[in-house]
């Protein structure tokens, strides 16, 4: 071999050394993992490792007004409402999804069943893809603006599922669920998960944001912060089979309603209070109340006169701002419950009312 050829080979070798080092470092950092098994392994390791995940038999957390309880076998129970009030309870298993809403128990089918089962599978795997092994295949790296993610997709729980994993950390940042049926049409929803934090030796996202695919962010105006995470709770044997609710009792007779307070909202800095009740449209109908009627609110020996509106739209637009505005109307955002709005001139009376209000306290109105 000539000296020139040897020099040329030596030069090529020198040029390739940095490339080899970069590739080797990339493999160590996970950048060149290109198999489904490799990505899943990295994801499970990133969330805490299989051994640590198996130590946690159940855990719970809060997100918004919902409290989630999950078991490692994929069972999930969701309680909706602010303690001690539970408006609805949902139980999700691999076979069945049931909901108890205001004592009405329903079996959930179709797309909603599939959505909840996919969510339960992700959450019960401690937000790892451990419970999706065998259902996904690697689709490579995709850019979302400046963000780069590993993509895995497949079918699970009867839906098309796509996961986006951070290209460096291998943690799940996005879950997209899609399905088409002739009966329900095309359905798509995207879950996004905030920065992860370590709790009990595993990594949990700090928030959940979800909205229909293509919808404006106003449909879900802010991410729901994940808080109050607890692991290996002492739960009784029947906990994951019960779907009890705690909504108080309603008595509706002509011209009168008795029930309970669900939620109290202070409208600071104004001396205003919103009292959400457990009264629903059927209760109003049974009581025979009509728009414009004067009502008397009775609360712990206190009586206040109100004006009734069938819906929130019917009340005057400026009622919320003027002093001494007092009315009762519907709150569709809280499941078509009725609420009482008080903006009293007397601040001392307002503070006195606030002091009396606690969730599930009895409340009564009657026609004047």
For 142-159, write each residue's pLDDT tens digit: 988 788 999 999 999 999
pTM equals: 0.80
Domain boundary among 167, 202, 231: 231
CATH number of the domain residue 216 falls in: 2.50.20
Collapsed DSSP state (helix, strand, coil) of residue 313: helix
Both 317 and 192 in one domain: the answer is no
Both 289 and 145 in one domain: the answer is no
User: % helix / strand / coil in the chain, to the nearest 5?
Assistant: 25, 40, 35
**Considering the domain boundaries, does residue 206 fall inside one?**
yes
Residue-wise pLDDT for 166-189, tens only, equals: 999 999 999 999 998 888 889 999
CATH number of the domain residue 352 falls in: 2.40.30.90
Both 190 and 92 in one domain: the answer is yes
CA end-to-end distance (rounded Å), the chain: 111
**Considering the domain boundaries, does residue 24 fall inside one?**
no
Nearest Cα residue to 251 out of 103, 363, 338 = 363
The CA distance from 328 to 315, in Å, is: 9
The pLDDT value given to residue 31: 47
Pair of tokens at residue 60: 């719970």
For 277, the domain range is 251-367
**Considering the domain boundaries, does residue 331 fall inside one?**
yes
Both 129 and 261 in one domain: the answer is no
Both 75 and 159 in one domain: the answer is yes
Collapsed DSSP state (helix, strand, coil) of residue 21: helix
Nearest Cα residue to 331 out of 315, 344, 354, 343 = 315
Both 209 and 84 in one domain: the answer is yes
Pair of tokens at residue 162: 């796509």
Both 73 and 43 in one domain: the answer is yes
**Considering the domain boundaries, does residue 321 fall inside one?**
yes
Residue-wise pLDDT for 319-359, tens only, equals: 676 778 899 999 887 778 999 999 888 878 888 888 889 99
Both 71 and 40 in one domain: the answer is yes
Residue 94: pLDDT band (50, 70, 90) is: very high
> What phi and psi values does residue 2 have, to the nearest 5 degrees?
-75, 160
Both 161 and 267 in one domain: the answer is no
The residue ranking higher by pLDDT, 257 or 269, is 257
Count of domains observed in the chain: 2
Both 219 and 258 in one domain: the answer is no
The pLDDT value given to residue 74: 92
Nearest Cα residue to 154 out of 171, 172, 129 = 129
What distances in angstroms separate CA 178 from CA 114, 120, 154, one per listed residue? 10, 16, 11
Domain boundary among 175, 197, 231: 231
Pairing of strands 302-308, 325-331: parallel
The CA distance from 37 to 47, in Å, is: 16
The pLDDT value given to residue 145: 79
Both 151 and 262 in one domain: the answer is no
> Is residue 213 within 8 Å of 178, Cβ to Cβ?
yes
- Does the pLDDT value for residue 12 go beyond 60? no
**Helices assigned H by DSSP within the chain:** 3-29, 36-47, 50-55, 110-124, 281-287, 347-356
**Considering the domain boundaries, does residue 214 fall inside one?**
yes
- Does the pLDDT value for residue 215 go beyond 80? no
What lies within 8 Å, CB to CB, of 202 at 6+ separation is 47, 48, 52, 53, 56, 126
**Considering the domain boundaries, does residue 277 fall inside one?**
yes
Average pLDDT over the chain, rounded to an integer: 87
**Considering the domain boundaries, does residue 242 fall inside one?**
no
**Considering the domain boundaries, does residue 61 fall inside one?**
yes
126 backbone φψ class: left, alpha, beta (φ>0; ψ -120 to 50):
left
Both 206 and 255 in one domain: the answer is no
The CA distance from 16 to 7, in Å, is: 14
- Does the pLDDT value for residue 134 go beyond 90? yes
> Is residue 276 within 8 Å of 332, Cβ to Cβ?
no
């Amino acid at each position: 071999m000539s000296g020139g050829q040897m020099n040329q080979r030596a030069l090529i070798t020198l040029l390739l050394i940095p490339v080899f080092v970069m590739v080797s470092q990339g493999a160590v950092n996970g950048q060149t993992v290109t198999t489904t098994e490799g990505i899943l392994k990295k994801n499970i390791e990133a969330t805490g490792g299989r051994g640590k995940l198996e130590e946690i038999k159940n855990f719970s957390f809060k997100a918004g007004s919902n409290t989630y309880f999950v078991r490692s076998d994929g069972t999930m129970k969701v309680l909706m409402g602010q303690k001690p009030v539970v408006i609805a309870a949902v139980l999700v298993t691999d076979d069945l999804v049931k909901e108890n809403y205001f004592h009405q128990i329903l079996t959930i089918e179709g797309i909603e069943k599939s959505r909840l089962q996919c969510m339960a599978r992700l959450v019960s795997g401690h937000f790892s893809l451990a419970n999706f092994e065998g259902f996904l295949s690697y689709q490579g790296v995709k850019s979302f603006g400046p963000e780069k993610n590993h993509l895995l997709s497949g079918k699970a729980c009867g839906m098309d599922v796509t996961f986006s994993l951070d290209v460096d950390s291998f943690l799940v940042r996005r879950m997209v669920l899609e399905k088409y049926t002739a009966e329900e049409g095309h359905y798509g929803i995207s879950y996004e998960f905030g920065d992860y934090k370590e709790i009990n030796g595993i990594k949990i996202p700090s928030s959940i944001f979800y909205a229909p695919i293509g919808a404006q962010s106003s449909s879900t105006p802010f991410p729901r912060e994940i808080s109050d995470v607890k692991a290996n709770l002492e739960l009784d044997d029947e906990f994951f089979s019960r779907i009890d609710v705690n909504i108080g009792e309603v008595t509706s007779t002509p011209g009168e309603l008795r029930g309970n307070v669900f939620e109290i909202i202070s409208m600071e800095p104004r001396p205003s209070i919103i009292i959400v009740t457990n009264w629903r449209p059927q209760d109003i109908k049974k009581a025979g109340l009509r728009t414009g009627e004067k009502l008397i609110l009775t609360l712990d020996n206190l009586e206040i006169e109100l004006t009734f509106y069938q819906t929130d739209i019917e009340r005057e637009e400026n009622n919320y701002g003027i002093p001494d505005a007092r009315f009762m109307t519907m709150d569709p955002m809280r499941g078509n419950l009725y609420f009482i709005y008080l903006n009293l001139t007397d601040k001392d009376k307002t503070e006195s009312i606030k002091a009396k209000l606690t969730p599930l306290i009895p409340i009564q109105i009657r026609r004047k």
